[in-house]
Structure 1
Amino acid sequence: MPKITYVEHGGKEHVVDVPVGLTVMEGARDNGIPGIEADCGGACACSTCHVYVDPEWVGKLPEKDAMEEDMLDFAYEPDPERSRLTCQLKVTEELDGLKVQMPEKQI
């Protein structure tokens, strides 16, 4: 099972096993990780599951689609390279070791 590291804004790390087929957002929600609110439940209709992907992972993830790009415009301090919505990142074995950092707040 892939391990995903979620880093709170203050630096506290949570390393959790996330089943293949879930999203990175569902992994955070199911494990009570603070900092990912996921108000829309994963429908890509808000930006409250916004994270900054660790730089070494940016090029390893699938490209953002147009809907994700649009929703990131509403995120708190989005980074053009590192910002992603975790509801759009499906967990696969290839994501084992992924590290994401939460922003200061979700809006």
Structure 2
Amino acid sequence: MSGLYAHYYTWAEVCLLTTLSESTIRSMGKKDTFPVREKLSPGRVGFPKKQVDLWLKDRPAWERWNRRRLEKEAARGQHEETRDKNAPDKAVDNSIWQL
């Protein structure tokens, strides 16, 4: 792999490294207890290698890092799992669409 993809693990690599199943990793991701996968292109996701490596090496350190990340996102109202991506931006005046 080269370029952007060199910095990410695939599903197969993460399952092999962690000895966890894809469904277990998905469940852990929903609970914010595993590094978040990122959409790399249509139909392709990856797990940031630095985060997965830290999770494998030192889970308490990763959990502290993740807790800080979630707190910052919550303060900005941008947590991926809870944010409705289809909702209009609060800063946009939608009154012109009302009849």
TM, length-normalised to structure 1? 0.25
Larger CA Rg, structure 1 vs 2: 2
With a CA cutoff of 8 Å and minimum separation of 6, indicate the structure with the bigger relative contact order. 1
More helix as a share of residues: 2
TM, length-normalised to structure 2? 0.26
